[in-house]
């Protein structure tokens, strides 16, 4: 795995720390994830114990009643977010709003300050001190010691012991994370809980922010690991200044959300072990935990959120992916899982490598787990089950082992890797494994023809085009008179996506009005961006990463998809759903998607001259663009919705189960 992928969602270091004042103030940062009543008590305790300090609270659109609380606490700086972004992203957003020269106090919503944190703040000013926590009390937990906020380093053995339900006993044993007695202030501790954690701004700027790949509080432990590795210290202050209160409590959550929380903790623990040691430690933890759940009594499994009965008489559906990142194939899996869940199916998404940001868009009633490919132990109710995988080595390995474990299991391969006209794209072992599947779900007839020709695939074949959510009727679009048409490209920036080809084609049309915005990031971006001619840099704008298609397509007059290799570019559907016309290379499924030129512009050959010729015709008549966009919208609404995609998948599922 490349370093870029390994820390793709890390908030990078700010750099220079010398300009920070030696005597810094403190900004209090609270992520509202425990309910409004505990949050209000926390805010009141800050007002009483730390008067005058700025308080920043992050809340998303799910915080019902937050507007009333905001009105009662006007001095608080309220930071509003969209959707469920996760703790790490929320805390990073709060840091962006806090004064740049202030230290940070991470306070859990529900924690109650008992004192002004005098000793904590004194220790934070020490040399190379990254973070300090006071001791924390909890009268409701008889086994809790005030210094339990400090813990020893997570290890594979300790993580497995915790999975077995014996994390805290006996205290001080080699496999326990708890200290036998209170660590002195002079002792560097391994980890500090994020209940009330004072963080040095100098350390934050030097180490970087929280890694947003962690969807929960384990991001704080990861930050501390990175700080300690860089030579910073973690200290426990000898003052009891916080009551744990409702931390981890608040309003009771639905059972599905509780199950999701447990799965997130497991995945985050695995990611922590992966960064600390290796992916093998992470996989061993996940496999060992799954085995323990298999050996538990049924009543204990039910208590831990393991499903033992079906929601309905329908088969269970398992969908695999390597990661839930912002990619076309991954987004389709998320949409399919959500729609199947809405129709009453038990759905489990298995990430065989890691989670990713798309998990925030998946309903909690869809089970999402991380499990290594070689240990396909998934908690499913008894009865028939169907596995849907893509065409990767890890997913094929998972499927081969999973299906062999029971007779009432079926396997469908849904390829997404772009096929090639001139040679195979799969290795021989991968091809042999996929031939054992019960069927293939391809994106278009041409998709199957290309795969079968190069790999001699056989078996049942089903066609299920990808789909997008059919939203409201898009408003009428028109190219603004006097303004140059705004061309947009949105993709991962790798060479075969051909952004450089598109720019070269447009360079020969410099006398025509146009602008080009390229959205996306990837390993080839720096090199390909450098190829932009100097004379076009005021017309070609490399915008970088986009959080989904919405921001990138908001002002587009024409979407350009110049790739030389694609299977079924979902970005075409995203544009069609917004009535934005599309010009695309005529590869694989693109001709069928654009109704062979009646619902979009097809470019062939895929070359500089081919794109130059077609763009010249398009730009010569920009007034015709809205009508073509409307044709694309009508085709999308008829053939390429999530509902139509799900219907096609269910037809394939029913067919292989009937066999």
H or E stretch covering 198: strand 196-199
For residues 591 and 585, what is the distance between their CA atoms, to the nearest angstrom?
Answer: 8
Give yes or no for residue 360 having a pLDDT over 90: no
Contact 506, 618 (CB under 8 A): no
Cβ within 8 Å of residue 183, ≥6 positions away: 147, 150, 189, 236
Tell me if residue 399 falls in helix, strand or coil. helix
Give me the mean pLDDT over the 549-559 stretch: 94
For residues 339 and 452, what is the distance between their CA atoms, to the nearest angstrom?
Answer: 30
Check residue 478 and give its pLDDT. Answer: 73
The band of 208, judged by pLDDT with boundaries at 50, 70 and 90, is very high
Check residue 248 and give its pLDDT. Answer: 54
C-alpha count within 13 angstroms, C-beta hemisphere, residue 620: 6
pLDDT in tens, 462-504: 999 999 988 778 888 777 777 899 999 999 999 999 999 999 9
For residues 13 and 542, what is the distance between their CA atoms, to the nearest angstrom?
Answer: 23
Give yes or no for residue 2 having a pLDDT over 50: no
Lowest average pLDDT, out of 325-329, 400-404, 599-603, goes to: 325-329
The larger pLDDT score, comparing residue 564 to residue 256, is at 564
For residues 320 and 656, what is the distance between their CA atoms, to the nearest angstrom?
Answer: 18
Check residue 298 and give its pLDDT. Answer: 62
pLDDT in tens, 123-164: 999 999 999 999 999 988 888 999 999 999 999 999 999 888
Check residue 500 and give its pLDDT. Answer: 97
Q: Could you give all domains of the chain from N- to C-terminal order, each with its CATH number?
A: 26-147+182-243 (3.90.550.10), 312-463 (3.40.50.2000), 486-640 (3.40.50.2000)
Q: DSSP secondary structure string, 365-378? A: TSEEEE--TT----
pLDDT in tens, 504-513: 999 999 999 9
Average pLDDT, the chain: 91
Contact 360, 83 (CB under 8 A): yes
Contact 379, 360 (CB under 8 A): no
Check residue 249 and give its pLDDT. Answer: 47
pLDDT in tens, 580-600: 999 999 999 999 999 999 999
Lowest average pLDDT, out of 1-10, 195-204, 385-394, 542-551, goes to: 1-10
For residues 220 and 204, what is the distance between their CA atoms, to the nearest angstrom?
Answer: 12
Give yes or no for residue 635 having a pLDDT over 80: yes
pTM for this structure?
Answer: 0.89
Check residue 297 and give its pLDDT. Answer: 58
306-341 as b/e: b if 16+ CB within 10 A: bbeebeeebbbbbbbbbbbbbbbbbbbbbbbbbbbb
φ, ψ dihedrals at 277, nearest 5°: -125, -80
């Amino acid at each position: 795995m490349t370093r870029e992928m390994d820390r793709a969602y890390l908030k990078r270091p700010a750099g220079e720390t010398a300009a920070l004042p030696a005597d810094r103030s403190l900004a209090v940062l609270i992520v509202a994830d425990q309910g409004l009543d505990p949050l209000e008590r926390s805010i009141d305790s800050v007002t009483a114990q730390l008067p005058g300090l700025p308080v920043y609270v992050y809340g998303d659109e799910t915080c019902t009643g937050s507007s009333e609380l905001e009105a009662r606490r006007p001095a608080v700086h309220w930071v509003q977010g969209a959707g469920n972004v996760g703790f790490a992203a929320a805390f990073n957003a709060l840091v962006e709003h806090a004064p740049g020269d202030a230290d940070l106090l991470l306070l859990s919503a529900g924690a109650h300050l008992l004192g002004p944190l005098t000793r904590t703040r004194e220790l934070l000013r020490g040399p190379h001190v990254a973070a300090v926590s006071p001791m924390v009390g909890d009268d409701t937990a008889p086994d809790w010691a005030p210094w339990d906020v400090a813990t020893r380093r997570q290890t594979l053995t300790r993580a497995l012991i915790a999975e077995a339900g014996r994390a805290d006993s006996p205290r001080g044993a080699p496999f326990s994370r708890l200290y036998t007695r209170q660590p002195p202030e002079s002792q560097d501790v391994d980890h500090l809980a994020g209940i009330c954690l004072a963080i040095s701004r100098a350390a934050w700027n030097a180490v970087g922010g929280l890694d947003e790949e962690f969807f929960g509080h384990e991001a704080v432990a990861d930050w501390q690991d990175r700080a300690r590795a860089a030579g910073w210290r973690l200290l426990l202050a000898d003052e009891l200044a916080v009551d744990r209160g409702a931390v981890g409590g608040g309003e009771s959550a639905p059972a599905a959300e509780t199950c999701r929380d447990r799965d997130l903790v497991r995945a985050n623990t695995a990611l922590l072990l992966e960064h600390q040691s290796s992916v093998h430690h992470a996989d061993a933890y996940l496999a060992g935990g799954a085995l323990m759940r298999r050996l538990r009594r049924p009543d204990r499994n039910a208590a831990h959120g393991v499903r033992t009965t079906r929601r309905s008489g329908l088969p269970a559906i398992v969908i695999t992916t390597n990661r839930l990142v912002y990619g076309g194939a991954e987004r389709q899996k998320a949409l399919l899982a959500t729609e199947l869940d809405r129709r009453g199916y038990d759905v489990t998404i298995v990430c065989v490598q890691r989670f990713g940001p798309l998990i925030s868009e998946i309903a909690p009633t869809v089970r999402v787990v991380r499990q290594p490919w070689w240990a396909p132990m998934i908690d499913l109710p008894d009865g028939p089950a169907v596995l849907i995988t893509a065409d990767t080595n890890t997913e094929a390995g998972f499927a081969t082992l999973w299906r062999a474990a029971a007779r009432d299991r079926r396997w469908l391969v849904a390829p997404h890797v772009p096929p090639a006209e001139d040679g195979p794209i799969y290795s021989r072992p991968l091809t042999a494994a996929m031939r054992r599947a019960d069927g293939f779900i391809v994106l278009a007839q041409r998709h199957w023809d290309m795969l079968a020709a190069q790999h001699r695939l056989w078996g049942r074949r089903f066609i299920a085009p990808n789909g997008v959510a059919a939203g409201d009727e898009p408003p009428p679009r028109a190219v603004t008179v006097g303004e140059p048409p705004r061309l947009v490209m949105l993709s991962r920036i790798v060479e075969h996506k051909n952004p450089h080809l598109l720019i070269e084609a447009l360079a020969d049309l410099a006398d025509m009005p146009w602008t080009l915005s390229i959205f996306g990031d990837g390993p080839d971006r720096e090199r390909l961006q450098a190829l932009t001619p100097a004379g076009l840099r005021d017309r070609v704008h490399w915008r970088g990463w986009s959080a989904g298609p919405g921001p990138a397509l908001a002002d587009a007059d024409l979407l350009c998809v110049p790739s030389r290799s694609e299977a079924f570019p979902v970005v075409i559907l995203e544009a069609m759903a917004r009535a934005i016309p599309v010009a695309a290379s005529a590869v694989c499924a693109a001709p069928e998607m654009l109704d062979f030129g009646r619902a979009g512009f097809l470019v062939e050959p895929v070359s500089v001259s081919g794109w130059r010729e077609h763009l010249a015709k398009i730009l010569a008549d920009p007034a015709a663009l809205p009508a073509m966009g409307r044709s694309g919208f009508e085709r999308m609404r008829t053939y390429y919705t999530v509902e139509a995609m799900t219907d096609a998948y269910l037809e394939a599922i029913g067919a292989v189960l009937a066999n």
